[in-house]
Amino acid sequence: MSVKTTCPYCGVGCGVVARKGADGTVSVEGDKEHPANFGRLCSKGSALAETIDLDGRLLEPMVNGAPATWDDALDIVADGFAKVIREHGPDAVAFYVSGQLLTEDYYVVNKLSKGFVGTANIDTNSRLCMASSVVGHKRAFGSDTVPGCYEDLEQADLLVFVGSNAAWCHPILHQRMLAAKEKNPNCKIVVIDPRRTATCEGADLHLSLRAGSDTVLFNGLLAYLAGNNVIDREFVGSSTTGVADALAEVAGQTVARTAAICGLTEGTVSLFFDWFAKTERVVTLYSQGVNQSTSGVDKVNSIINCHLLTGRIGRPGMGPFSLTGQPNAMGGREVGGLANQLAAHMELEKAEHRDIVQRFWRAPVMADKGGLKAVDMFDAVAAGKVKAIWIMSTNPVVSLPDADRVRAALEACELVVVSDCMRSTDTTRHAHVLLPALAWGEKDGTVTNSERRISRQRSFLPAPGEARADWRIICDVASRMGYAGFDYAGVADVFREHADLSGFENAGKRDFDISAMAGLDDSAYEAMAPVQWPVTAAQPLGTARMFQTNEFFTPDRKARFIPIVPRPARNPTSREYRLVLNTGRVRDQWHTMTRTGKTARLLSHIFEPYAEFHPEDARLAGVKQDGLALLTSAWGKMVARVVVTAEQKRGCVFVPMHWNEEFAGEGRVNALVNPAVDPLSGQPESKHTPIKADPYKPKWQAFILSRNEIKRPDSGYWVHGKAGDCWRLEVTGNERPESWRDWARAQLGLDGVEIEWIAYRDPTAGRFRYAAVRDGRLEGCVFIAPNHTLPSRAWLIGLFAEQELSANARMSLLAGKPFGDGEDKGAIVCSCFSIGRNQITAEIKKGSDSVEAIGRCLKAGTNCGGCKPELNKLIAATAPMRQAIAS
């Protein structure tokens, strides 16, 4: 059996074909017909089949930690919410939802909150993700419209990435752009990011600007364009307003001044400005380096201003392009899931819109003012103003800023309901009621990707245990609360209502209109092909590009220039906290790791939370490559493995957002992150927190590899996860056990089991090595040292694949290092084929001097292609050495 569906991870929205064999095994591949990916999948998409097992799944409702029936659980939620509303009013409850809900789930929860409970206290993790783009779009266009489509990215002659690491975060789209560049010798790529990221590998120019200075850079560009008369006068004159004010604001801003404030050279800035000025087909792509800032909205508008001045919008190969993060970031905006929106791109503050929606829903009450935005919502929970909260499909104890405070807020809350597909997350731990949701592969509905394309997610697996669809759970609670209008026959029914509302009393006034799909019957919904909204009677096959007639959704139908006054970060660095903490993503993990953290393959690329330092900052802080650092801010602290690299901007430290208490001790970066938000969008400043760094020096460090799952420690720094055919624990401590050997045996879960020990002890140096062998096979090993100087994990993990340990392997275990060349493949670079750094550099030294040549010899980079930027980097670093050796 094969089913076409959509990848549940990033906003590229790749089509997936899932196949189920007769034995129940599932395999996935890219859908060759899907217009987002034409058959390709990145490392995360390729590993989907490895994440659908039921390990760790929440399979039954739980109340106060004990299993409960659905009837009881739903009654407790409905009665609990009803009681709080009765006693304290509707604003004493809140819903915190997610861009990973399907559109249908999202539609009904928004309807329940705004039209029936009567509170706009519904917000979503999209507040942390897209809120600044939403406000920026609305300010400029009068609507939250992404103008272009993916083909524009292939037709452009200049691609400007601002605060986007697309090589790791939107890999398939990034590869489409690189492939187009290969065919178009005129095409140039510019990356604007304080860090040198994987995305810079394919770029012609990297602007390592001072963190947060984007508005200055784009104001400078606007001034340069105006000064050089690169103005589309006809477009500006007839289709925009406000140009004079915007230009007045940037008057006199020279390249030199721009360069000085942004911390760039004049040459780099003028080269970028010159390319932008001379290239008609420019797309400026932006993501979290823009959105997650206290100037996020201004950054968006400073970019859009430049496109408006040059009239580069609504035409092939050009436009501003917000890359959305989550699979349904866009769908959530369409249903109005944010606290200050209404359904179908209508405005909560507009009485006319409230009236339309209220009549359409036959809603008894209607929220009439904006609700609490994410950060404020959890503050209100902490203050006891919100007494019941229902969290769906998001993990705020990990992902919200000032995360220890979020945890404390939940601990103090009267009623915490969490719908999740996993049993144990940092957030589910604090739930009074846990509701088991269907996961990807089981659930059914629609999602919208970055180019406004609506695709179906289809189920191909049965509902496990008692799990239910999110929309069904929400409707069941709504019905129990006595609300009419939630008795949908099925998910298609919800979609039809959503589509119908988009066209209700619209008549071209609102951008979001999919009314042509309101009449789909169940089988047409089932068969729905990917389509880009608007989908109307006039455009029944959808719309690739918006604003082609230069008409916008403002009252006068003109786009608006916004004058931008650059502002510094809300919390500047100080003498005590002199480094800027920047946070973001790694290639193979998805957010809080609840799914991608299940597979050894995806953990093999990067296993530990790390902090990337510029060499000079590392020296000043006294932290060393591979050692540990304690990072502290005014809000909290964490520990991370140190990476020292000149790719990091001086004064900045980068830490991934992913690790949390399920996977690491002291590894949750949001404990440190400041809760400052953009004043207009309410989006947190996740990329800029003042911190300090110190060496973290426990008395000992160790790692354990074991076929049995290893118990997680309850304090100190540790990291836990799967690795190859075993489990891996990195662990540190200050207390030394009486007997390391007994400790090792207990850690491996081998107490009382007959095993052969291979042991090496050097108590004076504080070094111990133990390996347990059973029937000739390695069962586990434990390596202990006084610091981080421990042997290669990759080599040892490889030994677990062997059925019988060779004499050589036994000797090397004892010696703590591999004997013979090629035994240690090094840290994994290509996770698809498990190819390590040492293997790749050896191949380069032998003469493979291109990504293709490495692919031919080792297969690395030939599946998802996500490691190609790292292969290029290794070639650049290794090839000169090869030449030196040869000469």
Ligand X SMILES: Nc1nc2c(c(=O)[nH]1)N[C@H]1C(S)=C(S)[C@@H](COP(=O)(O)OP(=O)(O)OC[C@H]3O[C@@H](n4cnc5c(=O)[nH]c(N)nc54)[C@H](O)[C@@H]3O)O[C@H]1N2
Q: Which residues bind Mo ion (CB under 5 A)?
A: 129, 325
Tokens of 387: 């007494």
**Binding residue (CB under 6 A) for ligand SF4 from 4, 5, 10, 181:** 10
Q: How far is the CB of 129 from ligand SF4 (least distance, A)?
A: 14
Q: How far is the CB of 544 from Mo ion (least distance, A)?
A: 24
SS3 for 641? Answer: strand
Contact call for residues 636 and 403 (beta carbons, < 8 A): yes
- Residue 45 interacting with ligand SF4 (CB under 6 A): yes
What residues have CB less than 8 Å from 626, skipping those under 6 apart?
641, 642, 788
Task: Please give the angle made by the CA atoms of 573, 575 and 581, to the nearest 5 degrees.
Answer: 35
Quick one: which of 585, 601, 722, 868 contacts ligand X (CB under 6 A)? 585
Q: Whole-number minimum distance, CB 197 to ligand SF4, in Å?
A: 16
Q: In whole angstroms, how close is the CB of 436 to ligand SF4 at the nearest point?
A: 24
Residue 341 pairs in a beta bridge with 347
Instruction: Judge whether 628 and 696 are in contact, CB under 8 Å.
Output: yes
Q: What b/e readout covers 524-552, taking b as 16+ CB neighbours within 10 angstroms?
A: ebeebebbbbbbbeeeeebbbbbbeebeb
Nearer CB in complex with Mo ion: 127/443: 127
Tell me which residue of 422, 378, 420 sits closest to 403, measured CA to CA: 378
Q: How far is the CB of 789 from ligand X (least distance, A)?
A: 30
Residues in the chain: 887
3-state secondary structure (DSSP) of residue 17: strand
Residue with tokens 């891996």: 728
Q: Is 124 in the site for ligand X (CB under 6 A)?
A: no
Q: How many residues make contact with ligand SF4 (CB under 6 A)?
A: 14
**Are the CB atoms for 304 and 140 separated by under 8 Å?**
yes
Q: Which stretch binds ligand SF4 (CB under 6 A): 10-18, 770-778, 825-833, 871-879?
A: 10-18
193 part of the interface to ligand X, by CB under 6 A: yes
Binding mask 651-670 for ligand X (x = CB under 6 A): ------x-----------xx
Of 537, 461, 462, nearest to 503 (Cα)?
537
- 164 lines the binding site for ligand X (CB under 6 A): yes
* Separation of alpha carbons 468 and 73, rounded Å: 13
For residue 345, the minimal CB distance to Mo ion (Å) is 20
Q: Judged by CB, which is closer to ligand X: 78, or 773?
A: 78
Q: What is the DSSP letter of 308?
A: H
Mark 448-472 as b/e (b = at least 16 C-beta within 10 Å). Answer: bbbbbbbbbbbbbbeebebbbbbbb
Q: Determine, following the binding rule CB under 6 A, whether residue 128 of this chain makes contact with ligand X.
A: yes
Q: Which of 121, 125, 706, 747 binds ligand X (CB under 6 A)?
A: 125
**Could you say which of ligand X, Mo ion, ligand SF4, none residue 195 binds, taking C-beta under 5 to 8 angstroms by partner kind?**
ligand X
Distance between CA 666 and CA 635 in Å, rounded? 14
Instruction: Provide the minimum distance between the beta carbon of 117 and ligand X in the complex, in angstroms, as a whole number.
Output: 19
Name which of residues 429 to 448 contact ligand X (CB under 6 A). Answer: 437, 439, 443
Binding residues for ligand X, rule CB under 6 A, total 59
Partner whose binding site includes residue 562, from ligand X, ligand SF4, Mo ion, none (CB under 5 to 8 Å by kind): none
Tell me how far CA of residue 72 lies from CA of 68, 76, 480, 531, in angstroms. 6, 6, 11, 41
Q: Chain-centre distance of CA 775, in angstroms?
A: 44
Q: Omega of the bond prior to 8 within 30 degrees of 0, cis?
A: no
When CB distances are held under 5 to 8 angstroms depending on the partner's kind, the choice from ligand SF4, ligand X, Mo ion, none that residue 669 binds is: ligand X
Q: How far is the CB of 12 from ligand SF4 (least distance, A)?
A: 4
| Chain centroid, CA 108 distance in Å | 24
Shortest Cβ distance from residue 282 to ligand SF4 (Å)?
Answer: 23
Q: Of these partners, ligand X, Mo ion, ligand SF4, none, which one is at the site of residue 7 (CB under 5 to 8 Å by kind)? A: ligand SF4
Check residue 402 for interaction with ligand X (CB under 6 A). no
Helix count and strand count (H, E) for the chain: 30, 37
Under rule CB under 6 A, which residues in 170-199 are in contact with ligand SF4? 170-172
What does DSSP say about strands 610-613 and 637-644: parallel, antiparallel, or unpaired? parallel
By CB under 6 A, name the binding residues for ligand X: 10, 98, 100, 125, 128-129, 162-166, 168-169, 192-195, 197, 211-212, 214, 287-289, 292, 325-326, 392-396, 398-399, 419-422, 425, 437, 439, 443, 470, 582-585, 587, 589-592, 594, 657, 669-670, 673, 686-687
* Residues at the contact surface with ligand SF4, assessed by CB under 6 A: 7, 9-10, 12-14, 37, 41-42, 44-45, 170-172
